[in-house]
Amino acid sequence: MRLMDENTVTDAVLEQMANTPDPRLKEVMGALVRHLHAFAREVDLKPEEWLAGIAFLTAVGQKCTPHRQEFILLSDTLGLSTVVNALHDKRMAEATTTSSILGPYYRENAPSFRLGDSIAVKTHGQPIAIYGRVTNKKGEGIPNASIEIWQTNEEGDYDLQLEAADEMDMRGWFHADSDGRFYLRSVRPHAYRIPMDGPVGKLLTAQGRHGYRPAHIHFLIGAPGYREVVTAAYLGSDKYLETDTVFGVMPSLITETKAGDASSPFPDLPSLRFDFTLAARAAGEGTGRVGADVSKIGARLLT
Amino acid sequence: MRLMDENTVTDAVLEQMANTPDPRLKEVMGALVRHLHAFAREVDLKPEEWLAGIAFLTAVGQKCTPHRQEFILLSDTLGLSTVVNALHDKRMAEATTTSSILGPYYRENAPSFRLGDSIAVKTHGQPIAIYGRVTNKKGEGIPNASIEIWQTNEEGDYDLQLEAADEMDMRGWFHADSDGRFYLRSVRPHAYRIPMDGPVGKLLTAQGRHGYRPAHIHFLIGAPGYREVVTAAYLGSDKYLETDTVFGVMPSLITETKAGDASSPFPDLPSLRFDFTLAARAAGEGTGRVGADVSKIGARLLT
């Protein structure tokens, strides 16, 4: 009989997982167990702290609804989502637009629009134009590339946070023209506070964190034969750029609307230009991005 | 603006947590973030794997009910609970009975019995006697020590797993006599499989693990002025002793019933003797064990 202590139990667990048929599952779970145990040993985790952790994770899971994903929010606020995105960008052999976090407000089946339309169907605010081009590494436009976009209204609320959460607004699909160009209208998004009424918000409060994200616009860009890019454009004048509570701001993603932009399809509107570079996908390879996988997991998780 | 990559984001998170007023929360969360990020970097975690993890944790949280604690089950099957218990035992300055895992079947407000009573009120099975003594480090009996006990029936089911889950059976409270001695009757517990119909069971199946626990009897022992002990007695003849799916078996906790035990208060029954040593609690110190904290968290978590 093995004498089990706080160190030897780690090998006992790895031994019981040694016959995992899927080699990747074995690798990931083995590393998870080693790091999880190392964490508990490093802080000399107390039983009452362990139980508080169990209660916290249970509350996070029970806060999830078709309109709210509290575990993604937890991952975001712990910086894990940014680690995963940065690792993803590093694996790309070709230069590609920097990733940013998906966030908890992505929705499947957003409405489809034509180029030039406004995604601000119900909301009012300061009108802006958004335009740019989707290209490959050679700078060639990718015809018909899909551009999915979602953002807050002028008050900093996503549609999911409004009373009529079932009705979509401030989000939709576009397809680029034959030269990879896209253009649309919207209203200026606003900085906002992540939902503070759940367990994640309580944790941020206990940590003395403000919980704000700088104003930004989410993009999910894809095209057949290319890897999807999940990213966001951050408005350069926002005061929370340096202290984003979910660590999504990358220097290359900071931009700002420009007045009197002659090259904008809507020169009368403050216009935000944002171009995207997609990396080619190898034969037989998945999209490598989160978007496609969201649809596999389906409505139960994220709607 | 900080250039954020998979390494530098860790410092950015620690910086945002640097003003946490509670020093212990700061220490634990800081270590958690470092180990969590190190795990993701080590396995080069892919976005689709991250999302599978989010979906898994969400399912674990949503599987929790007043009658089922799937996150404790996850902690148990990953060996984390045993790490926490082993760390706890190591901190004890005085020798004490070795801890074992609380498990997901603990219930508050179990019925109170008198010494000699049987906790098998509704269930049938092979009658056994359980007896022993609760002492301090000097071997002196602790009068009136409380002994809480819970176990499966002969089929390997806890009351919580039966159709009438609201009715308690095979569990209860006793108080030791003036010499710290206790004795009661029960039926022989059986090895059982942890609930395999939830996300944790699916993970074990994917890992090729059998999911069984050897037959055992849970104990939560306490007395004013002493630290609580959460432990279990494991039946020595069980075939799953070496491969307990939750890593709860410690060599010093293995015992067996004995026929014709002249020192048993019930010499006609197969009798299991199990003695407990409690460590004194320092002034102003909490119980240091899980039991008391369970009641703080209350019915929502564990009932």
State how far the Cα of A258 lies from the Cα of A181, in Å rounded to an integer: 18
Q: What is the mean pLDDT of residues A29-45?
A: 98
Residue spans of the domains in chain A: they are: 1-45, 70-295
Residue B23 contacts A where some CB pair is shorter than 8 Å: no
Q: Which two tokens stand for residue B140?
A: 């002196």
CA distance B83 to chain A (A): 4
The answer to whether the CB atoms of A43 and B36 lie below 8 A apart is no
- Best residue of B10, B45, B58 to probe chain A, by most A CBs closer than 10 Å: B58
The answer to whether residues B84 and A43 touch, using CB atoms and an 8 Å cutoff, is no
Burial B45-65 (b: 16+ CB within 10 A, else e): bbbbbbbbbbbbbbbbbbbbe
Residue A231 contacts B where some CB pair is shorter than 8 Å: no
3-state SS string over A3-42?
CCCCCHHHHHHHHHCCCCCCHHHHHHHHHHHHHHHHHHHH
- Among chain A residues, the shortest Cα distance to B13 is held by A79
Instruction: Label residue B2 by pLDDT band (50, 70, 90).
Output: low
- Among chain B residues, the shortest Cα distance to A77 is held by B13
The answer to whether the CB atoms of B39 and A35 lie below 8 A apart is yes
Using alpha carbons, select from B204, B209, B207, B230 the residue that is nearest to residue B219: B230
The answer to whether residues A247 and A85 touch, using CB atoms and an 8 Å cutoff, is no
The answer to whether the CB atoms of B41 and A83 lie below 8 A apart is yes
Ranking B30-39, B121-130, B157-166 by mean pLDDT, the lowest is: B157-166
CATH of domain B70-302: 2.60.130.10
Sequence-separated (6 or more) residues with CB below 8 Å from residue B28: A43, A45, A49
The answer to whether residues B83 and A9 touch, using CB atoms and an 8 Å cutoff, is yes
Where do runs of H (alpha helix) occur along chain B? 8-16, 23-43, 47-63, 70-77, 80-91, 199-206, 290-297, 299-302
The answer to whether the CB atoms of B91 and A22 lie below 8 A apart is no
Give B55's contacts in chain A (Cβ within 8 Å). 297, 301
- Among chain B residues, the shortest Cα distance to A8 is held by B83
Give B60's contacts in chain A (Cβ within 8 Å). 57, 61
pLDDT of residue A49: 94
CA distance B185 to chain A (A): 29
Smallest Cβ distance to A31: which of B32, B39, B71? Answer: B39
State how far the Cα of A294 lies from the Cα of A285, in Å rounded to an integer: 17
The answer to whether residues A137 and A94 touch, using CB atoms and an 8 Å cutoff, is yes
CATH superfamily name and code, A70-295: Aromatic compound dioxygenase (2.60.130.10)
Tens of pLDDT along A101-135?
887 788 888 999 999 999 999 988 999 999 999 99
Q: What is the mean pLDDT of residues A273-289?
A: 78
Residue A45 contacts B where some CB pair is shorter than 8 Å: yes
Instruction: Label residue B300 by pLDDT band (50, 70, 90).
Output: very low
The answer to whether residues A221 and A97 touch, using CB atoms and an 8 Å cutoff, is yes
Residue B31 contacts A where some CB pair is shorter than 8 Å: yes
Give A85's contacts in chain B (Cβ within 8 Å). 47
Sequence-separated (6 or more) residues with CB below 8 Å from residue A275: A97, A132, A133, A134, A135
ipTM summary value: 0.86
Alpha-carbon dihedral B259, B262, B263, B264, rounded to 10 degrees: 50
Where do runs of H (alpha helix) occur along A197-298? 199-206, 290-297
Tens of pLDDT along B167-221?
899 999 999 999 999 999 999 999 989 999 999 999 999 999 999 999 999 999 9
- Among chain B residues, the shortest Cα distance to A69 is held by B58
Using alpha carbons, select from A121, A98, A114 the residue that is nearest to residue A219: A98
pLDDT of residue B155: 87
pTM value is 0.86
Q: Which two tokens stand for residue A249?
A: 């701001």
Q: Which two tokens stand for residue A240?
A: 């929370």
Q: What is the dihedral sign for C-alpha B89, A36, B52, B207?
A: negative
The answer to whether residues B147 and B182 touch, using CB atoms and an 8 Å cutoff, is yes
Residues in chain A: 303
